[in-house]
Structure 1
Amino acid sequence: MLVSACLLSAAKTNLPVNGHPASPQAADGRFRNPAPKPADGVAKTLGIVWNVLLNKPATTVPKGPVPVDTLTRAELEAAPDRSLFRLGHSTMLIKLRGGFWITDPVFAERASPVQWMGPKRFHAPPIALADLPPLRGVILSHDHYDHLDRDTVMQLAKTTGVFLTPLGVGDRLIAWGVDAAKVRQFDWWQGTRIEGVQFTATPAQHFSGRGLFDGNKTLWASWVIVDDANDANASDAGTLRLFFSGDTGYFDGFKEIGRRFGPFDVTMLETGAYDPQWPYVHMQPEQTVQAHQDLRGRWLLPVHNGTFDLAMHGWQEPFERVVTLNGERDIALTTPRMGERLDLSAPHVATRWWREVEAATALASLLDPGFEPAP
């Protein structure tokens, strides 16, 4: 009954958007991946839904509070260029040339079409939405609820200069009431240059939709962000190359993106909400590391984890698995706390902060036999 209510809410508030038939990614009014998704079948789909709703292990949510470095607007404005602050899940606040850019901003309590049920945040954002400085732009990868939050977007629209989106996602924003003059939408391999920073929408292997009738009506994408040292107004710090994956399964496109735009200084790659039952649309940690290598990345920043319970794995498992792989493959890995500043020109090896949560809970249980972890 509750699931039906969510679906009906999504169907009512997220109507299908206009098609883009000229796109090479479009066919019969919907977007598609280069390699078709294998058919799951009704039995497999129902089995996945059953397990997600009724058979979740207790480890999918943290037993104690997640450490967060709170931020103020003054601190952000004083931060040097080429700073990154992870605000949660796939929301990254990046400062380039004095302006702030944010990826897939979600400040809602739940990643859901309704706020009375659905995946709930493990932690508050490091800074309140109303306290953010004006943004130069918002970068969106696709329209799923854990990446595109309507209330957040509408609040940001008041003080944001531009919204960069894949095809169709921009149409959705305009339908919600975002000024069309602020919206720029792109097909794969298309992009724009804004104040010396180049943004290019690049391929991803995923899907889209927010309701019952709009499956794959909008495109999904990863993003390449290049702060060009050859620009007349650039600093002497050299060119900075960033990659943001959005949501994606592992595919050959990473090698082509790496060939065209790499090497990357930092890759922000999905590492979370994976499962052997849906490898086509979410990477396993081993594939995340392989994608980083395909992209010719220097530092790997695992994202899409630590904020929402979206799969069957332990909430800290994505971090632990990628740390193990880091040791095996000798890659440079950074895992900053939510709100911790990362210098994109010279990233640091961050602490394994997620281990503090389990350690603190274990200590509390030892000192107080009546201690009960937070639900």
Structure 2
Amino acid sequence: MTCLAYAADTRPVYHNDAPRQQPGFLKTLKILWDFTFNKPANTTPAQALPVQALTREQLLAAPDNTLYRLGHSSILLKLNGEFWLTDPVFSQRASPVQWAGPARFHAPPISIAELPPIKGVILSHNHYDHLDYDAIRALAAKTEHFLAPLGVGDTLIEWGVAAGKVRQLGWWQSVEAGGLKLTATPAQHFSGRGLFDGNKTLWASWVIESGNLRVFFSGDTGYFKGFKEIGERFGPFDLTLMETGAYDPQWPDIHMQPKETMQAHLDLRGKVLLPIHNGTFDLAMHSWDDPFEQITALAAARRQTLATPVIGEPLSIAEPAAGSAWWRLP
């Protein structure tokens, strides 16, 4: 992790190890035009998606090493008897405002109020579909630790999270909490929530170690050589939670195509791949179910094990079941 310079407000400006393609003004206008006027009809599901509702009692009674997809990149993990959340987004829209922007396809399977106490929240970066102001505010009192890339923790403190709960990490830095070892690892992406804060906070993937169990959480990222180094340092992984969605040829180096997701999983030496960053928000031009269809075909061709739980369905991290093709709606 390096920074280009210090901005006028003294905050560092972060960058990827490999230069990112800048879209430029005209290309950005074209992308916005296509999103506004040329959206295909199938980028959102035609009917309600299956969701398995959860209760606090169910979660407390669940065995250790159980995982639940809550939607998009929000994952609830039960490890060492404690609960951990990745990129918790519970709002109706992934947007600066709740009257416009990408709306959810489905409700979360459980509310924040119903969740048991949370040992830690693990954040990958500050984009609106990963860092939800209302969710952070609601989680602040019931969460013991907030783990974030550099600069993102400052935002949490500004929002009212107690500074003593916040740990900020650069790439390859680790922290131990709740019997886990958590390491912020590189990703190829960018950050920003407004017009003037571009890349002034870091973005990261995460390695989560619980005893002999190892989980990789990709956050948002393009494909890059860093996956091999992460795999060499920390692999093999029992489960990789891999971005598989919101891809497009117009932004090739900040989100992975499904074939790149599969290659990254192989680089990481993952045993089972769980595709995330899909099935909740309309953030690209591909059909809403294309990520599932493509990664399923790729897994079959490469003889890799895929886990596709329904939203809210429990999944054993040590012995994950394949799951059904629930996105193939009747």
The TM-score normalised by the length of structure 2 is: 0.97
Distance apart, 1:45 and its partner CA: 1.4
Where do residues 1-375 of structure 1 align in structure 2 (5 Å cutoff)? Answer: 24-28=2-6, 29-228=12-211, 239-355=212-328, 357=329, 359=330
Q: Distance in 2 between matches of 1:196 and 1:114?
A: 37
Secondary structure of the residue that 2:279 maps to in structure 1?
A: coil
What are the superposed Cα offsets for residues 225-244 of structure 1, whole Å, 9 maximum, x if unpaired?
0012xxxxxxxxxx100000
**CA deviation after TM superposition for structure 1 residue 26, in Å:** 4.9
Letter in 2 for 1:297: G
Per-residue deviation, 1:154: 0.6
Distance 2:27 2:282 in 1: 21
Query: When the two structures are aligned, how many residues end up with a matched partner?
Result: 325
Cα separation, 2, equivalents of 1:26 and 1:192: 26
- Following superposition, the deviation at residue 177 of structure 1 comes to 1.3
Query: Helix, strand or coil for the counterpart of 2:238?
Result: strand
- Which residue identity lines up with residue 271 of structure 1 in the other structure? T
The one-letter code sitting in structure 2 at the alignment partner of 1:39 is Q
1:366 corresponding residue in structure 2? none
Indicate the structure with greater helix content: 1
Letter in 2 for 1:52: F
CA contact (8 A) 2:258 2:291 kept: yes
CA distance in structure 2 between the partners assigned to 1:280 and 1:225 by the alignment:
25
SS in 2 for 1:165: strand
Residue 27 (structure 1) shift: 2.9
Gaps of 5+ in 2: 7-11
Letter in 2 for 1:213: F
The runs of 5 or more residues in structure 1 that have no matched partner are: 1-22, 229-238, 360-375
C-alpha distance in structure 2 between counterparts of 1:25 and 1:275, whole Å? 27
Q: For residue 167 of structure 2, give the secondary structure of its aligned residue in structure 1.
A: strand
1:207-230 residue CA offsets vs partner (Å, 9 max, x unmatched): 0010111010100000000012xx
In percent, how many aligned pairs have the same letter? 62
Deviation per CA, 1:117-159: give whole Å up to 9, x if none: 1000000000111100010000000000000000100110011
Contact 2:152 2:168 in 1 (8 A): yes
Q: In 1, are the aligned partners of 2:208 and 2:216 still within 8 Å (CA)?
A: yes
- Whole-angstrom distance in 1 between the partners of 2:123 and 2:239: 18
Is the radius of gyration larger for structure 1 or structure 2? 1
